[in-house]
Amino acid sequence: MLAGEGAVAIWNDIADAGRAQFYDWHLHEHMPERVGIPGFVRGRRYRAADAATQPEFFTLYETSSFQVLQGSDYLARLNDPTDWTRAATAHFQTTTRSLTRVVASHGVGPGGALLTVRFDIADDAVHDVVPRITPALEAAARLPRVCGAHLLGADARTSGQSTAESKDRKDLLQPARWVLLLEACDAEAFGPAVTLLRGATELGEAIMGRYLHEHTRLKTAWQAG
């Protein structure tokens, strides 16, 4: 199960010149700062498990509710980026950032491997497709070595909101509208789960990536080590 009813899903690459700074900033300032916002519960970062997975990094922030992502505390951070944030994000490439509602979440807890699936559902098909996906997710979460299966639906207006942090950035791409996340003990466990999900809905145009866990930040004072 995810830790709340809202989530920020971020995919990004990093230019070689900014890689060392990215790790330092992300570990010691950015993730602690984000998880320190009221309503943010947990932050996790993953790195691509294979060369076919692009972009290289995936970060997931879980929030107690979707309203947290629309709230003044989060917006205040986005409109007051630190100098280190400006310097680090200057090296970001091919960034996709979706602010989402957790539509369904099943499983026993986080896994060391994560499969992200970015796809679309036509607006007039949502009421038909989502009820077919959710039982498939529940079944996928019970497969061997699979720890969790989650469906996230992005809010286009909130995801696309312009802030001081996003201003003038050229790396930002269109937010993913719908996201499937599969968590497992290892990346080889995803195959049967994907087959199950393909049987429930059309994923022909989906963008899939396999990631391995790098770091988790829990809910502590943001300045804590």
C-alpha to C-alpha distance for 126 and 155, rounded to whole angstroms = 14
Q: Is residue 54 classed exposed, middle or buried when 0-12, 13-18 and 19+ CB atoms within 10 A define those classes? A: exposed
Whether 82 is covered by a domain: the verdict is yes
Q: Is the pLDDT of residue 225 over 50?
A: no
Domain encompassing residue 148: 6-216
Whether 101 is covered by a domain: the verdict is yes
Q: Which residues contact 83 (CB under 8 A, 6 or more apart)?
A: none
Tokens 């996230």 correspond to 152
Q: What is the mean pLDDT of the chain?
A: 94
Q: What is the pLDDT of residue 190?
A: 97
Return the closest-CA partner of residue 74 out of 116, 41, 114: 41
Tokens found for residue 51:
């060369």
Query: Residue 221 — pLDDT band, cuts 50, 70, 90?
Result: low
Q: Which residues contact 219 (CB under 8 A, 6 or more apart)?
A: 35, 40, 41, 42
Whether 224 is covered by a domain: the verdict is no
Number of domains in the chain: 1
Tokens 């995919």 correspond to 11
CA 222 to chain centre: 20
CATH code, 39: 3.30.70.100
Query: Residue 204 — pLDDT band, cuts 50, 70, 90?
Result: confident
Whether 1 is covered by a domain: the verdict is no
Share of the chain above pLDDT 70, in %: 97
pLDDT digits (tens, 9 = 90+) for 91-107: 999 999 999 999 999 99
Whether 205 is covered by a domain: the verdict is yes
116: number of Cβ within 10 Å = 23
155: number of Cβ within 10 Å = 18
C-alpha to C-alpha distance for 74 and 78, rounded to whole angstroms = 6
Q: Is the pLDDT of residue 155 over 80?
A: yes
Whether 182 is covered by a domain: the verdict is yes
